[in-house]
Structure 1
Amino acid sequence: MSKTTDRPHTTGATEGLLMKQKFTKQFVDKLSCTKATARLFVRDTVCRGLCVEVRSTGGKTYYLSYRDAQGKQRLCKLANAADVSPAQARQLCEQARSQVVMGVSEPVCKITTDDFFYLSYLPYVKTYKRSWDTDVSVYRTHVAPVIGKTALAAVGYDDVTRLMTVAAVKLSTGSQYRLYVLTRYMFNLAKRWEVAGIEHNPTDRYTIKQSKQHRERYLNRAETQTLLTAIAHSVNPQLQYIVPMLLLTGARKREVLDAQWQDMDYERRFWRIPFTKSGRERHVPLSDAVLTLLAQVPRYADCDWVFPNPKTLKPFRSIYHSWHTARTAAGLGEVRMHDLRHSFASFLVNAGCSIYDVQKLLGHANVSMTQRYSHLSQERLLSAANTAGDYVQFRSDDDAQA
């Protein structure tokens, strides 16, 4: 249920005068309130009953202002003003006011799960999350068919259980966990933003085990050469440069595909990656091998991209077909493009580089993430173990008999 209050629209020590103004995003964003006033109410001139509360702390909330059956002035909370536009607030206000007309004493603003995801959640995560399109795909495929049309405030534990049960038939353990995290985060945001009717997170009672198994696959020296031979015959002329760039830098696929010449600093010998998965800028050293590779990459007039699609002179959206053809030809059909990043880390560790050097080169925030990429070869482990023999001297049976 949404929260209703008896808060009067009067002047006083803690509340400002009620003003009237047509709501626009620019107008609402600029509204402010002094500490002396503490709270200010402004009414919309377009939608009857819609008002916004402006607090001295900077917070702003949309309300429906109406009189109950006893003629008492009441407020029904609609949404945080930072999460919805004035147009969306008017829609919520109309819904709530219609319930008042129908005799509902405490109107519930029926924001559906779809409404919240597309109007509030998605605009928010787009501001910082590079993989927001994955959230859209997961939501549209799995969440929307089950609870998309359900009022957000009405979603309960049973609905979450049904959502996860349906998904379990189609998804791997890891994908199920990602679906659960998305759903849980949505409702946590709804609580944080004080969306009307959201008093608890319906995922709290549902438990799911996080998959701890990480797929381990990396290329050895022979496999690397076989792959490089295969890509040299690819119908995609850029693949012969893209794959070595991934192997030589440990960069992510999207980072390489979006690389620009202006970010290659030859004087200081680093590649600036402005947007990473973590949202932080990082610098990748330009090794001798990378410089040799870049010198061979064809350049196109008026093209900023290092590895563009020759037909469009824009970054590739996908290179899966050419990559899959090449890896299959090399007999490495199970190797993913992300495994080239695994391989880069393994090359370094097997050559004696410290785990902290690898962490820095991969751009990981903490060393625990790096450890899953750094697979030591059996030969190196055996060599390390054999050093114990230099300290532990003992005679074999043959030596004893002699």
Structure 2
Amino acid sequence: MPLMQLSTGFLDKIQCPEGKAKVDYFDMSCRGLMVEIRPTGRKVFYFRYTDFRGVQRQIKLASTDDLSLDQARKKVAALRNQIALGQDPFALKTEAKQVPTFAQFIADQYMPFIMSYKRSWDTDASILKNHLLPRFGKRYMDEITRQDIVKIHGDRKASGAAAGSANRLLIMMRYIFNLALKWEVPGIKTNPCKGIPLMEENNKMERYLSVEEAQRLYEAVCKSENTMLKFIVPMLILTGARKREVLDARWEDFDLGRRAWRIPISKSGKARHVPLSDGALTLLATMPRKTDCEWAFANPETGKPYVSIYYAWNTARKSIGLSDVRMHDLRHSFASLLINSGRTLYEVQHILGHTQVKTTQRYAHLSQDTLLAAANSATTALGAAMMPPVMLAPVSALPAALRA
């Protein structure tokens, strides 16, 4: 390993001695700088040093065709400065090679994790597929900056999406990077989303169904090719439950004797109980039930909960000119009817399963005793529109077979 005063002229002329696989020359003017000469004529700069544990390390810089001698010396000086500051260039380079791309992290770690506990993981998958992966998929995780996050957040709003839709991108990216930090993913030292504010959402203009609209909607879902839609939609509006809560409901969750529906895992992560009004009980009594199927609103073709009912729902609402009505608006309509029936915010909060009263307060402007009576108030107001005549009869008046 000859020690030489490297020069541009020397590098141009030097050749690997015949019979040798390679020869290394160290620079007298720059400690650690080395040039490797191969029989093929290829010449490559390296930086060689001893790390904090006494292990000799070697980092490839570049070919002499791509890096001048002066540039190589400056690069080595910068690496030696890193060492002086307590950083190991070899460890940093090794870590950099381990940093996953955004797409790799999502596929290998994020999706398997959320699918293990999150019922609405398909919503995450949709947001990733349509918005985040096209923008960041090929980028390494440590390359995604705060400016990148601010831009996609703003771009989503500028595209015409609601502030809430734009905020969902920011919220998901924040969660993704928090997990990356928690799991000590190589290269992730900070969360680029930290401190980026959410856009103000205007949730005051909620969409509420009128009785006439509810009647038309019920007629439309009864005509749907999805034979369960005529039960799912009324259940949503008669209980104020969330879509996924209804789709994932098991027969064992319903205690008809106590007139209660236990939702094992709600949005808050805790179990909650929904009072079953006369209309809801009657609906359950008139639904088809297979003895070997545990799911109340199962897809008849699979015997399992629907992954999505969007197509059937969208077809039904568009057929009657209600394309602006979202499925979640059925929950809003239920809440508005409770308030207009004179129920308190406390009652509405508990029926809807809101963990914070401020979430329920969006309905306070509509108007101003038991939870069951509150639920029946809503059922009475919309029952005639959302159910056929047999379902309007009191539970006690139903045939014994339906009350069983």
Q: TM tier, shorter chain? A: 0.5 to 0.7
Contact 2:220 2:316 in 1 (8 A): yes
CA deviation profile, 1:81-110 (whole Å, cap 9, x unmatched):
xxxxxxxxxxxxxxxx9x955374343323
CA deviation profile, 1:198-248 (whole Å, cap 9, x unmatched):
333333475552433454111123322333333333333322222221111
**3-state SS, counterpart of residue 136 of structure 1:** helix
Counterpart residue type for residue 119 of structure 2:
R
Counterpart residue type for residue 140 of structure 2:
A
- Aligned-partner Cα distance in 1 for 2:302–2:176: 38
2:334 is matched with 344
Q: CA deviation at 1:175?
A: 2.0
1:289 is matched with 279
Contact 2:260 2:274 in 1 (8 A): yes
Q: TM-score, normalised by structure 2?
A: 0.62
Range with greater deviation from structure 2 (239-248 or 316-325): 316-325
Contact 1:346 1:375 in 2 (8 A): no
1:105 is matched with 90
- Aligned-partner Cα distance in 2 for 1:123–1:100: 37
2:267 is matched with 277
Taking the TM superposition and a 5 Å limit, the aligned residue runs for 1:178-197 are 178-197=168-187
Contact 1:265 1:271 in 2 (8 A): yes
Taking the TM superposition and a 5 Å limit, the aligned residue runs for 1:234-313 are 234-313=224-303
Does residue 119 (structure 1) correspond to residue 108 (structure 2)? The answer is: yes
1:73 is matched with 53
- Aligned-partner Cα distance in 1 for 2:152–2:231: 44
> CA 1:359–1:100 in 2, change beyond 3 Å: closer, same or farther?
farther
Does residue 144 (structure 1) correspond to residue 133 (structure 2)? The answer is: yes
Counterpart residue type for residue 198 of structure 1:
I
- Aligned-partner Cα distance in 2 for 1:295–1:71: 74
Q: CA deviation at 1:287?
A: 1.7
Q: Calculate percent identity across the aligned residue pairs.
A: 47
Counterpart residue type for residue 330 of structure 2:
L
- Aligned-partner Cα distance in 2 for 1:236–1:125: 29
Q: CA deviation at 1:360?
A: 0.6
**Which stretches in structure 2 are left out of the alignment for 5+ residues?**
1-47, 62-88, 369-404
Contact 1:147 1:155 in 2 (8 A): yes
**Which stretches in structure 1 are left out of the alignment for 5+ residues?**
1-67, 76-96, 379-402
> CA 1:377–1:245 in 2, change beyond 3 Å: closer, same or farther?
same
CA RMSD of the aligned region, Å? 3.1
Q: TM-score, normalised by structure 1?
A: 0.62
2:221 paired residue among 196, 217, 231: 231
1:203 paired residue among 193, 208, 212: 193
Counterpart residue type for residue 321 of structure 1:
Y
Range with greater deviation from structure 2 (337-346 or 111-120): 111-120
Report which of the two structures shows the higher radius of gyration computed on alpha carbons.
Answer: 2
Counterpart residue type for residue 141 of structure 2:
L
Contact 1:253 1:337 in 2 (8 A): yes
Taking the TM superposition and a 5 Å limit, the aligned residue runs for 1:305-384 are 305-373=295-363, 376=366
2:144 is matched with 155
2:32 is matched with none
Contact 1:191 1:198 in 2 (8 A): yes
- Aligned-partner Cα distance in 1 for 2:257–2:268: 27
Q: CA deviation at 1:148?
A: 2.7
> CA 1:74–1:119 in 2, change beyond 3 Å: closer, same or farther?
farther
Q: Which has the higher helix share?
A: 2
- Aligned-partner Cα distance in 1 for 2:214–2:365: 16
**3-state SS, counterpart of residue 92 of structure 2:** coil
- Aligned-partner Cα distance in 1 for 2:54–2:186: 15
Counterpart residue type for residue 157 of structure 1:
R
**3-state SS, counterpart of residue 261 of structure 2:** strand
> CA 1:302–1:167 in 2, change beyond 3 Å: closer, same or farther?
same
**3-state SS, counterpart of residue 90 of structure 2:** coil
**3-state SS, counterpart of residue 69 of structure 1:** strand
- Aligned-partner Cα distance in 2 for 1:348–1:71: 70
> CA 1:328–1:134 in 2, change beyond 3 Å: closer, same or farther?
closer
- Aligned-partner Cα distance in 1 for 2:91–2:204: 50
Counterpart residue type for residue 242 of structure 1:
I
Contact 1:130 1:277 in 2 (8 A): no
